[in-house]
Chain A
């Protein structure tokens, strides 16, 4: 069991708890149970938890399957920085969110599930795991001609090898000046 990333399971459990809280909340509010306002709270808490937990964090080793459409929420969750990155914060947050829902029967299952998720997150935090957003890979556009910095220094038509072997210093300077091409020997354009 050495390689288990507990945060992955905590994430699934927390997402499930969020959904259970929403369901229990809807039942209590729609049925106008006694103290149904806890149900209304539980719907709100459930939605918050689902939004927070929907983007899956990146695994330390190997590839991570993204949830469908999670990149939009990833950008939002990333904004909170250490509050969402750190799993101790998440453990405490889930525990606090679960307490009010424990007062109503309809949402008590959600409470217990969320407390379990909080405990697993605590375990993950103790083992040093943290939430890393899954970044979309930047599209690498092939840089056409990126390595070509300067035009070729000795393009054809080239003089024969004997002349090329000993270029004079001035010719070299002129050739590498970057200015217009200076031919080592005069070239005449014979138009017939």
Chain B
């Protein structure tokens, strides 16, 4: 278990380091090749070292553009997770870091693009200078090649009278290069965190400029501007000797005029596979869109939360997974992710959606959640569902002791887990290794507890019926209240049932003191492996990680807290 966990936690580092290593390898290998290869000797006379910089960054760009579409092909990832043996269980969770990887590759593209563009700016300038009236020596001789009928040219710029800008805009490579750079910049400026938070639709629609990006990328090399000496010409024309005797090339038989040819465009070979894959992904999404989703129940909870029960053919899920929902009447192109809150054993699947942006607010209004009269089920807007995706939370059952902590709406994956536990208890199955589970739920307002109050109540009764009252120990924390609530709570302080939730377990007020909690848990289970699972804000995640490190004992036989870092 421990070995698995160590490998698990370092997997992201391993992936990032491998990606960096491949990038460096491709860059340096290509750089050295172009810097030393004989076929490009004469090209280097005109361009200098910037030829190698431009080509090396181009290969890295090809590599990264190939990778960038893979992390966002979520159905493909699901397929890999489902079929591959090595991706079952804990390993499958790493496929969830897809968005982080997508951003990393995008930064890689940006860095390489800057190197590539700057290098080519120098190249254009040097080609232009090669044709200048005052160019002399080998440089001038090479630039003049191609003027006579049976010569192939080396310098793509043929006259000195036009400016470099005009020259650029006359080539396919130049125009497509400009389009690609523009597309990249527009995509990146509309993807900053601020824009994503304030206007998700702008980010989503602007991101589709990638279509122009890939089309231009495929034809970018079509100009065949990067030219090297042909192999036949290299056999006849000895560069080391002939470079001194450029004045006699036409005359002498020893040094026939060198012939050049352009490099075949290769970007399309790199990106064809992922582009086809992503096209299939979009086709699958639109097919999923056609599949019928029946809404069986709509519940409107306080604190602007909507619960939807749905049914779909052949839908199988595991606790902790999420689905993407699309509502064509609100927006035909947007899919938004929501964690599933139902258990696999139920015959429907459900989500709890909190209003926190344009789309979710529109959804709540469409389902009549904002105080209007309840609508008939047959009048509900149509929904499309894609998924389920994501790693399952079943790891919780593999630790002897598990601690699950959630804040606010982050309780949704754990709700699914607890329901699943409830069913397992009903069927009197013993959970594989789990002997004790601690569940902490921290909410800012009392209305939030109502979302799952009935779940907790039925769990409480079920556990005590089955004699497993010790299996689950849950603690609810309320961190916000007003004057009236405080008075009400104080008045009912001594009653046996909690005044807010109606449960036997009393609610605590204020934030949990993690030091005390972890100390108590470590004391209760002195030599166990304890899994800690969290869903909520980053700041608390850091605190909990610190607690896990602090209260794990140095003794290998002592208590160990394993923090499972996840975005559920």
Contacts and interface: CB of A to CB of B under 8 A. Distances in A.
Contacts of B205: 1
Contacts of A20: 185
B296 interface: no
Contact of A16 (B125, B185, B199): B185
Contacts of A108: 165, 178
Contacts of A62: 198
A104 B167 CA distance: 12
Q: Is the contact region of chain B dominated by helix, strand, or loop, or is it mixed?
A: helix
Interface centre among B129, B194, B205 (most CB of A within 10 A): B194
A12 B203 CA distance: 12
B306 to A, nearest CB: 20
Given A4-B201, A103-B165, A23 B189 contact: no
A117 to B, nearest CB: 9
A109 B125 CA distance: 16
A60 to B, nearest CB: 11
Contact of B201 (A1, A12, A16): A1
A9 B202 contact: yes
A113 B183 CA distance: 10
B159 interface: no
Contact of A8 (B129, B168, B199): B199
Given A9-B199, A33-B125, A59-B198, 9 more contacts: A2-B358, A33-B121, A34-B125, A34-B129, A35-B163, A103-B163, A105-B125, A105-B168, A112-B182
B202 to A, nearest CB: 5
Interface string A109-136: 1001100100000000000000000000
Contact of A106 (B121, B181, B201, B358): B121
A102 to B, nearest CB: 8
Interface string B172-198: 000000100110011011101111011
B199 A3 contact: yes
B201 to A, nearest CB: 5
A191 interface: no
B261 interface: no
A13 B195 contact: no
Place the interface of chain B in its size category.
Answer: 20 to 34
Contacts of A8: 194-195, 198-199
Interface string B149-177: 00000000000000111001000000000
Interface of B: 114, 117-118, 121-122, 124-125, 128-129, 163-165, 168, 178, 181-182, 185-186, 188-190, 192-195, 197-199, 201-202, 205-206, 358
Given A9-B202, A23-B114, A105 B124 contact: yes
A9 B189 contact: yes
Nearest to B120: A105
Interface in A1-34: 1-5, 8-9, 12-13, 16, 20, 23-24, 27-28, 31, 33-34
A9 B195 contact: yes
B42 to A, nearest CB: 22
A65 interface: yes
B178 A112 contact: yes
B207 to A, nearest CB: 13
B112 to A, nearest CB: 15
B328 to A, nearest CB: 15
Interface centre among B181, B188, B190, B199 (most CB of A within 10 A): B199
B202 A4 contact: yes
A1 B122 contact: no
A113 B192 contact: no
A112 B184 CA distance: 13
Contacts of B129: 34
27 contacts: A1-B201, A4-B201, A8-B195, A8-B198, A9-B189, A9-B190, A9-B195, A9-B199, A12-B194, A13-B186, A16-B188, A27-B121, A33-B164, A34-B125, A34-B128, A34-B164, A35-B163, A59-B198, A103-B165, A105-B124, A106-B121, A109-B178, A109-B182, A112-B178, A113-B185, A116-B182, A116-B186
B45 to A, nearest CB: 18
A5 B165 contact: no
B257 to A, nearest CB: 29
